[in-house]
Amino acid sequence: MSPPKALEDLREISTEIQHLDSILSLLHWDQETYMPLGGISPRSHQISTLSALIHEKKTSKKFKKALEALISLKTGKLKIKGLSPKEKAMIREWLKNYTRLRKLPSSFIKTFTAVTSEATQVWSLAKKNNQFQLFQPFLTKIIELNQKKAEILGYQDHPYDALLEHYEPCMNTRKLDAIFGRLKKQLSALLDKILSKKELDSRFLFKKVPHEKQLQLGLLLLQKLPMEHTYTRLDLSSHPFSIAMHPHDSRITTRILPHHFMSNLFSILHEAGHSYYEMGLLSDNFGTPLGEPVSLSIHESQSRWWETLIGRSLPFWQWFYPILKKECPSLLKSIPLERFYRSFNKVTPSLIRVEADEVSYCLHVILRYEIEKELMTHKLSVQDLPKRWNEKFLECFGLTPPNDSLGCLQDIHWSLGDFGYFPTYALGNLFAAQFFTSFVKDHPDWGERVARGDLAFIRDWLASKIHRWGRMYNSEELVKKITGKPLSETAYCNYLKGKYKEIYNF
């Protein structure tokens, strides 16, 4: 097969696979938004069948034949010259995908997706009714499948590494233990320092705001963001998420909590950050690795960027607070901006990860990382999970969850089989803060511009520095390209110390 024909075949197969992946994403979106509860059984079969088909196409003889005409499947050495950097990157990433996926049999993929599809619905019911025992057999099966997956894929030091690689290819437990060890120490010290100060009064933030009003506020916020609104939509789900079918179709969900209206707004900013990334991928690269995000850590850096670095900043609310105040006069008319800003940035231990303040958020993630490692190595049994969760939570935050719904059942991830995913939330914060240092150098007047409601320049900076490249660079290469330094916890810790020193006057 000639190199041009091989490259053409790879793009054709890969684009077809991407269309199938988009359909799969649409099924997942529907399952979490509009699908009737009784549809779970046929939907799980639909998802498992489609997942197996996608896996077969990604590991097909046709794909292999085209790929090995361009690159050695054993050594990774290119067989032809004259390729552009873009073509080299595509072939390199195709090989990575193929090498990993060919190890997993289609039968395993089908079983895994069938189990997790049903487990998601069972988890939702277990969480609602505070019945861990309902979810326990499904979680046991999911952990067994992940342990099997790790053995199939192979690993050097720790079975968790095989799972982590899927979400953040440049990371392993050895690196994470070092970074998280330093991060945990600094965050715990900062948290203790803040908690020794006088508690901020934020009670006004937890007054009831009607469901329809909150939805109206969320839509208003989304409409104010510089986004191509014909490419997105906002819906409701039990757990906020975003999902993309194409750069021109990226969907956002939020959830409405009657007594926590700011949760809705921050969820929308968070998910909008994910959508910005998906929309910023070049549509010409759709169906190739260059039309895909670098990693989940980088993806999370974009959501945390918009939710925290921008969305929890004073300049953002200098712009948006007057708009919000006009919409909620009875709630906010007597609350000055400074008090409002300090109140939603209040630091206090929380039972729920997604409601955690910036200082304690990564501690929630590290707790989950430590528990996942214990589950993967049989150090912790599933039946002892609630007890272990509560022990570690008390140790870290000085709180004991009153029930499992507010404890080990709070996140959807384990029902999805996503072991190895949680660390990307903390890594996303680290990447975001490090990227932000370079952004501030390029735009030292960013605060003044944001306070005027100018956000488009932020979107454009991220698109040019991160989004447009797809998987041209891995996360290690990308952070070094943008900041000149390898990833560390330094920028994030400096950001938190600087911000909360001003808020708490220490």
Phi, psi of 78 (to 5 degrees): -65, 140
Is 271 in the active site? yes
Sign of CA dihedral 453, 454, 459, 462: negative
Residue-by-residue DSSP string for 132-179: HHHHHHHHHHHHHHHHHHHHHH--SS-HHHHHHHHH-TT--HHHHHHH
- Judge whether 435 and 466 are in contact, CB under 8 Å: yes
Q: Collapse the DSSP code of 71 into the 3-class scheme (helix H, G, I; strand E, B; otherwise coil) and give the result.
A: strand
CA distances from 452 to 169, 302, 317 (A): 39, 22, 10
AA letter at 253: T
Q: Collapse the DSSP code of 506 into the 3-class scheme (helix H, G, I; strand E, B; otherwise coil) and give the result.
A: coil
Per the DSSP assignment, residues forming a β-bridge with 235 are: 253
Query: Among 165, 271, 278, 489, which one carries the catalytic annotation?
Result: 271
Q: Collapse the DSSP code of 454 into the 3-class scheme (helix H, G, I; strand E, B; otherwise coil) and give the result.
A: coil
Query: Residue 201 region, left (φ>0) first, then alpha (ψ -120 to 50), else beta?
Result: beta
Neighbour order of strands in the sheet with 249-254: 232-236, 249-254, 242-246
- Judge whether 269 and 218 are in contact, CB under 8 Å: no
- Judge whether 105 and 359 are in contact, CB under 8 Å: no
d(C-alpha 315, C-alpha 448), whole Å:
7
* Helix/strand number for the chain, H first, E second: 21, 3
Residue with tokens 């041009």: 4
- Judge whether 419 and 144 are in contact, CB under 8 Å: no
* Active site residue ranges: 271
